[in-house]
Structure 1
Amino acid sequence: MSKTIIVTGSTDGIGKLTALSFAEKGHTVYVHGRSEAKVSAVVSEIKEASNNQNIKGLVADFSDLEAVSELAKQIKTDIPKIDGLINNAGIFKTKEIQNKDGLDIRMVVNYLAPYVLTNAILPNIKQSEAPRIINLSSAAQAPVSEEILRGKTQDSVNSTYAQSKLALTMWSFYLAKQESKINVIAVNPGSLLNTKMANEAYGQFWSPAEKGVNIVVDLALSEAYKNDSGMYFDNDKGEDKGYFSPAHPDAYDTMKTEELLSITNQLLSGKMF
């Protein structure tokens, strides 16, 4: 049965290949990126490659939370039922450290943007009979600093990235508990996959991008994972395919999670959306 799936950050890398894989399987796919021209080009490319015309585009700069909120409004109107949301958009290296609100761009794109988008479109996701949210985490997870989250101080690229990914994972587990009818899974698709992000950051890769694509698609569609909400899948484990594994200990700390979400909501309450 055809599903409607949104893949954020899908004009490059794992996101693009994941969108193509869904398209090849006959699903309706929404490609997202920050450049309208690039989104349009990728939509056309995927349509041709998959022979599937049900491919559409979404445009928003995830470093701008107002733009994310506007995108959410558009989605709520245009896509009444969402079967799958793949929160893939992420950033590691960036020329600009902070966004216009003075927040670290890695924290915004990797954590706050998916938080804002997902929460805004939950009513549409709940219209699906078996909805799934797959949040792309990382093997890199580090305790979240309130000062970093609030944009009061800066840390190294590696540390801030790892903090943003732990924040995403902590919220994933919380969301899974709050929304019992939605299957929410956090996944490390694999370290140093052959993607633009990894090559820009490290100039090398360990595994093909397809390794990450395969597990993300599997988690989003396979019946094998229908009862695994609130879990963390580590694709660095095993040879060809990983398995569910413990995330960072902070992800299981209720008090730290509540503190994270309290600060998050304080930051967002100051916005006009």
Structure 2
Amino acid sequence: MKTILITGSTDGIGKLTALKLAKEGHKLFLHGRSEDKLNTVINEIQEASNNKNIKGFVADFSDINAVKQMVENIKNEVEKLDIIINNAGIFKTASDKTKDGLDIRMAVNYFAPYILTESIISVLEKGSETRVINLSSAAQSTVKKGVLTGAVAINASDAYAQSKLALTMWSFHFAKQHPNITTIAVNPGSLLNTKMVKEAYGQHWSPADKGANILFNLALSEEFKNDSGKYFDNDKGSFAMAHPDTTNQEKINILLNLTKEIIGGN
């Protein structure tokens, strides 16, 4: 039995993955933005899986301080984590800015998983054969300083692509820093049948199960235990090359130094 945290698990592939893992008898910590919705999903999954070992954490990932509070809650309540699936993501929203003045895609898709994962290293290191699965995307584009800091406003799809590249660059760096943790970035599949995709594009190419299945396998399968620091492209069904910036150490250093400045100031 593994102890697993899945962020953004009240909808879409996060919820489907949680159900698959619950049915296998694992201990789960789910995360959502709405306490009511989170509790509803926990009850749903407990009943569907006959697994009562499911708890939750509430945090609005567009709020850096809320993420930091969730970190403290995890440290107080969770003895160890074997797996974290950084699944929470956002594309189109009513407001493009967070209350801290950041682009909301950058905050939820990059800063939140960065803060969460880096801050609970002590909990992850107590896990067994620990894995970190980071939800990347086929959409990746070079991170611009102004977009990272929130000084420059751009359209949702460009901001999304930059946030996903930032996450993937950090993912590769994290894998090097923590050789005892298997860290994999994954594009779960393009245009899956999820709420986020429907709101953004109004259409889908593949069932959401396609994404849930690869997250389940990357989290648990022995097949992937030696694949740390890689990018799995589920559109191809195999590991692939990510954006060239993911291996540019100078760009990674600039990204991480800026990140520390930004989140330290919020």
**Partners in 2 of 1:225 and 1:136 — Cα distance?**
16
> Can you list the C-alpha shifts for 1:199-240, whole angstroms capped at 9, x where unaligned?
111111000000010001100000000000000000001xxx
How does 1:32-181 map onto structure 2 within 5 Å? 32-181=31-180
- The CA RMSD over aligned residues, in Å, is 0.5
Q: Are 1:245 and 2:244 matched, yes or no?
A: no
Give 1:67 shift.
Answer: 0.3
Q: Are 1:269 and 2:234 matched, yes or no?
A: no
> Can you list the C-alpha shifts for 1:63-98, whole angstroms capped at 9, x where unaligned?
001000000000011001000000000000011111
**Partners in 2 of 1:53 and 1:199 — Cα distance?**
32
User: TM-score, normalization: structure 2?
Assistant: 0.99
Give 1:57 shift.
Answer: 1.1
Q: Which amino acid aligns with 2:27?
A: T
Q: Which amino acid aligns with 1:252?
A: T
Query: Structure 1, unaligned stretches of length 5 or more?
Result: none
**Partners in 1 of 2:181 and 2:254 — Cα distance?**
23
Q: What does residue 216 of structure 2 align with? A: 217
> Identical aligned pairs, as a percentage?
59
> Can you list the C-alpha shifts for 1:115-138, whole angstroms capped at 9, x where unaligned?
001111110000012000000000
**Partners in 2 of 1:141 and 1:123 — Cα distance?**
30
Q: What does residue 227 of structure 1 align with? A: 226
Q: What does residue 14 of structure 1 align with? A: 13
Q: Secondary structure at the match of 1:52?
A: coil
Give 1:9 shift.
Answer: 0.2
Q: Secondary structure at the match of 1:127?
A: coil
Q: Secondary structure at the match of 1:134?
A: strand
Q: What does residue 187 of structure 1 align with? A: 186
Q: Are 1:25 and 2:20 matched, yes or no?
A: no
Q: Which amino acid aligns with 2:18?
A: A
Q: Which amino acid aligns with 1:181?
A: N
Q: Which amino acid aligns with 2:260?
A: N
Q: What does residue 257 of structure 1 align with? A: 252
Q: Secondary structure at the match of 1:251?
A: helix
**Partners in 2 of 1:218 and 1:155 — Cα distance?**
35
**Partners in 2 of 1:57 and 1:254 — Cα distance?**
36
Query: Structure 2, unaligned stretches of length 5 or more?
Result: none
Q: Which amino acid aligns with 1:51?
A: N
> Can you list the C-alpha shifts for 1:224-264, whole angstroms capped at 9, x where unaligned?
00000000000001xxxx00000000001000000000000
**Partners in 2 of 1:120 and 1:254 — Cα distance?**
22
